[in-house]
Chains A and B, each alone.
Chain A
Amino acid sequence: MNNAAFLVIAIVTLAGALAAATLPKLIHAALCLIVAFVGLAAFFFFLGAEFVGLVQLFVYVGAVAVLIVFTILLTRRDVGKPDKFNWGGIVVAVAVFGGLLWAILKTPSVAIAAAQIPPLTVKRIGEVLLTNYVWPLQCVGLLLTAALIGALVLVMEEKRR
């Protein structure tokens, strides 16, 4: 992929994220978040991790964004009110960004033109997932089950006494 496409993806991702962080209306912010996540998935495709890009699209755009929109719907009496913006956060965020930028620019770049690698197929990922990473996989399964049950218990109607 050439540099122009890279630049466009970067601008779209950062603009979407910035809009998601600063727009006053929550529903607009949620929709801009989708743009940012699609841009991020494009970065994963660009880096040759197609599977991660697809997972990113399915999980974030497909599930998380819909979940956020539904939550906005369920709490909408509160959503219309203007959200007060705390300016101290900007100072902290800019300071952290300055620190990170300083660290990145100061570090001598280690290598590297990206090595030519065989494409990372789903078959290879599946093999690695069920050999080297089988215990993390089981733990994630347990965690997802616990999160599912926990989310259900949290939103269950309370019994009226």
Chain B
Amino acid sequence: MTTLSILLVISAALFCIGLLAALSRRHAIFILIGIELMLAAANLNFVAFWRFGPEPQTPTGVMVAIFSIAIAAAEVAVGLALVISVYRHYRTTNVDRLNQLKG
């Protein structure tokens, strides 16, 4: 196996761990942690493909990874603000109990 495919396997494992956290936990902060892990796995893929790709002189993958990190920071700030706001209203952060809109 090449280094690239080992990195891809690690990134896939990281993505699936994030997916596991996002799908199987009922606490809103755990879901955010899972989303962050998935985004980080995608960043690892971008940088790995840049490094082992045909044109490592132009730093395209690095740029995408930097922008992706910035967007992830914005996302987690808004997400955690939402968690705090929801907690103020309902006194819980368990997503199963936020069922006011259930038909």
Contacts and interface: CB of A to CB of B under 8 A. Distances in A.
A8 interface: no
A20 B21 contact: yes
A64 B66 contact: no
Contact of B93 (A75, A93, A155): A75
Interface in A64-90: 64, 67-68, 71-72, 74-75, 77-79, 81, 83-90
Nearest to A107: B5
A33 B72 CA distance: 15
A75 B63 contact: no
Contact of A64 (B13, B44, B73): B73
B26 A86 contact: yes
Contacts of B34: 21
Interface in A98-123: 100-101, 104-105, 107, 109, 111-112, 114-115, 117, 120
B27 A67 contact: no
Please tell me the size bucket of the interface on A.
35 or more
A20 B38 CA distance: 13
Interface of B: 1-10, 12-27, 29-30, 32-34, 36-37, 40, 43-44, 47-48, 50-52, 54, 56-59, 61-63, 65-67, 69-78, 80-85, 87, 91-94
Interface of A: 6, 10, 13-14, 17-18, 20-22, 26, 29-30, 33, 36-37, 40, 43-44, 47-49, 51-52, 55-56, 59-60, 63-64, 67-68, 71-72, 74-75, 77-79, 81, 83-90, 92-94, 96-97, 100-101, 104-105, 107, 109, 111-112, 114-115, 117, 120, 124-125, 128-129, 132-133, 136, 140, 143-144, 146-148, 150-152, 154-155
27 contacts: A10-B6, A14-B14, A14-B17, A21-B18, A26-B29, A30-B29, A33-B36, A36-B37, A47-B51, A52-B43, A52-B65, A52-B69, A64-B72, A68-B29, A75-B87, A83-B30, A86-B24, A87-B24, A89-B20, A96-B15, A100-B15, A104-B9, A109-B2, A125-B66, A143-B70, A144-B74, A154-B78
- Give 5 nearest A-B pairs by CB, closest first: A89-B24, A89-B23, A147-B74, A21-B21, A93-B20
